Amino acid sequence: MIEAQQLTKRYGEKTAVDGLDFTVKPGTVTGFLGPNGAGKSTTMRMIVGLDAPTSGSVTVNGQHYARHRAPLQEVGALLEAKSIHPGRSAHNHLRALALTHGIPRRRVDEVVELAGLGSVAKKRAGAFSLGMGQRLGIAAALLGDPQTVMLDEPVNGLDPEGVLWIRNLLTSLAAEGRTVFVSSHLMSEVALVADHLIVVGRGRLLADTTVRDLVREAGGDTVKVATDDPARLRDVLAGPGVEVTGRVGSEELQVTGVSAREIGLKAAEHGIPLFELTTKAVSLEEAFMELTRDAVEYHGSTTGTETSRSAA
Partner 1 sequence: MSTLTATPDTSEAALAAPSRPVYRVTGRRVLSSEWAKLWSLRSTWITLGLGLLFLVAFGVIAASHYKSNLDSGRHMDGDFASATAVSLSLFGTNFAQLALGVLGVLVTAGEYSTGMIRSTLAAVPRRLPVLWSKAAVYGLVALVIATVGAFVAFLVGSRIVSGTPAAMGLGHAGVVRSLLGAGLYLGLVGVIGAALGALLRSVAGGISVLVAALMLVPGLISLLPSSWQGDISPYLPSHAGESIFALTHDSTTLSPGAGLLVFLAWTVLALAGAAYRLLRSDV
- Given the complex with partner 1, which of 61 and 283 has the nearer CB atom? 61
CA pair distance 143, 108, nearest whole angstrom = 7
Nearer CB in complex with partner 1: 93/207: 93
- Do 253 and 261 contact (CB within 8 A), yes or no? no
We find the least distance from the C-beta atom of residue 185 to partner 1, in angstroms, to be 21
Least Å distance, CB 37 to partner 1, is 17
Question: What residues make contact with partner 1 under the rule CB under 8 A?
Answer: 45, 48-52, 65-66, 68-73, 77, 79, 81-89, 92-93, 95-97, 99-103, 140, 144-145, 147
Nearer to partner 1, 83 or 254 (CB): 83
Q: At closest approach, how far in Å is the CB of 104 from partner 1?
A: 8
Nearer of residues 43 and 222 to partner 1, judged by Cβ: 43
> Minimum Å distance from CB 169 to partner 1?
19
CA dist., res. 246 & res. 244, Å (int): 7
Nearest distance in Å: CB 189, partner 1:
24
CB closer to partner 1, 38 vs 79? 79
Nearest-approach distance from CB 86 to partner 1, in angstroms: 6
Cβ proximity to partner 1: between 72 and 169 the closer is: 72
Long-range contacts of 16-21 (CB under 8 A, 24+ apart): 16/42, 16/203, 17/42, 17/43, 17/46, 17/53, 17/203, 18/202, 18/203, 18/204, 19/56, 19/204, 19/205, 20/56, 20/200, 20/203, 20/204, 20/205, 21/205
Residues 150 and 5: their CA atoms lie apart, in Å, by 18
Q: Give 66 or 231: the residue with its C-beta nearer to partner 1.
A: 66
The dihedrals phi and psi of 182, each to the nearest 5 degrees, come to -125, 125
CB of 60 to partner 1, least distance (A): 10
Query: Least distance (Å) from partner 1 to the CB of residue 188?
Result: 28
d(CA 110, CA 209): 35
Residues 193/284, Cβ–Cβ less than 8 Å: no
Q: Which residues pair with 55 in a beta bridge?
A: 8
Residue number with CB closer to partner 1 (97 or 218): 97
CA quadruple 237, 238, 240, 246: dihedral positive or negative?
positive
The whole-angstrom separation of Cα 230 and Cα 244 is 10
**Residue 112 φ/ψ, nearest 5 degrees:** -60, -45
What span, in angstroms and rounded, lies between the C-alpha atoms of 268 and 280? 21
